[in-house]
Amino acid sequence: MSGRIIGVDVGGTKIAVATLTGEELSEPVVEPTDVSDTDAFLEQLARMIEAQGEAHAVGIAVPSVVDWSTGTARFSVNIPLAGVPLRDVLGKRLDVPVFVDNDATCAALAEAWSEPDAVPKVLVMFTIGTGVGGGIVLDGRIFRGATGAAAELGHQIVAAQLAGGAPPKPEEWPQRGSLEEQADGDAMSVLAREHGFEDGKEAVSAAQEGDPKGVEAVRDLGERVGVGIANAMHHLDPDMVVIGGGVSAAGDLLLKPAEEAARRLTLTGVGTRSHIRLARYGNNAGVRGAALLARTEVSERGEERISA
């Protein structure tokens, strides 16, 4: 499908909206997210989409666990969206097909299609930022699991204390011992302070300038990410693993220790074709992936069937 598609990337602090025509993504329009209440948030979303002009479909990436069958957020982080049937609400107002999925999942779709003539058979993406998100794309199609909740890779348990059995039910999220608790932006800041820096950004900047303590802090986080990658390699034997999100700005300083740890911890013979790389689209991955989500669904299902 070659028509205009609108992509929307919703975050707790900002909303980005852009139009995809062919493979060209327009410069995103960005506004601070109105989280005062659900009605105000929905009004902002609709207004920003309508300002892009006519389109064949709209894709929306949200930081939420999404019920794919209804386009409803079961659980939503930082935005007043839980329980809102976003697909139907905006679909009726805009009078175009609307599709809603998790933001990390949409970012993974963008990375999978970064080379349309060489789409990976199995792509796994980790987004390392405020939290740790994940996405799985099989032969260019999003894998959502039985209910649409896959793939919450940040909530895999990588550092649990199992003496006496499994730990009790978590009192808060991310739960102790999860990849998100161990390797997100907050974890980077903790490591930074342990190495004498004010926060994660300062540690990364120092590492990029060759400061040994900064390099060590980023390496420690990279190796933690590598544990999650090793699990993904054991589960899925992917041909592509992508690391994105804000922390990936550390580049090879993060990538190399992550890959070394993943290779070291993976069973011999598993992941032999797994290429591990940094994400290519940066801050635009979510909005591009949201547009690709809509384009893919409209193309495969047909507009008449979707509108029915």
Q: By the 8 A CB rule, do 28 and 16 touch?
A: yes
The span from the CA of 238 to the CA of 124, in Å, is 7
> In sequence order, what are the beta bridge partners of 8?
17, 60
DSSP codes of every residue in 193-225: HHTT-SSHHHHHHHHHTT-HHHHHHHHHHHHHH
Q: How far apart are CA 231 and CA 298, in angstroms?
A: 33
Instruction: Say how far apart CA 147 and CA 225 lie, in whole Å.
Output: 26
Beta bridge partners of 32: 14
Residue 34's pLDDT is 93
Amino acid at residue number 272? T
Q: State the pTM of this model.
A: 0.90
- Predicted pLDDT at 302: 61
pLDDT in tens, the chain (308 residues): 457 999 999 988 899 999 999 889 999 999 999 999 999 999 999 999 999 999 999 999 998 889 888 899 888 777 888 899 999 999 999 999 999 999 999 999 999 999 999 999 999 999 998 889 999 999 999 999 988 888 899 999 999 889 889 988 998 888 999 999 999 999 999 999 999 999 999 999 999 999 999 999 999 999 999 999 999 999 999 999 999 998 999 999 999 999 999 999 999 999 999 999 999 998 899 999 999 999 999 877 664 333 32
Helix axes 103-112, 285-301, angle to 10 degrees: 80
Integer-rounded Cα Rg, in Å, for the chain is 19
Structure tokens that stand for 98 in this block: 């609307």
Q: Which residue has the tokens 């342990």?
A: 194
157: DSSP letter? B
> Which domains are assigned to the chain?
5-107+284-307 (3.30.420.40), 115-279 (3.30.420.40)
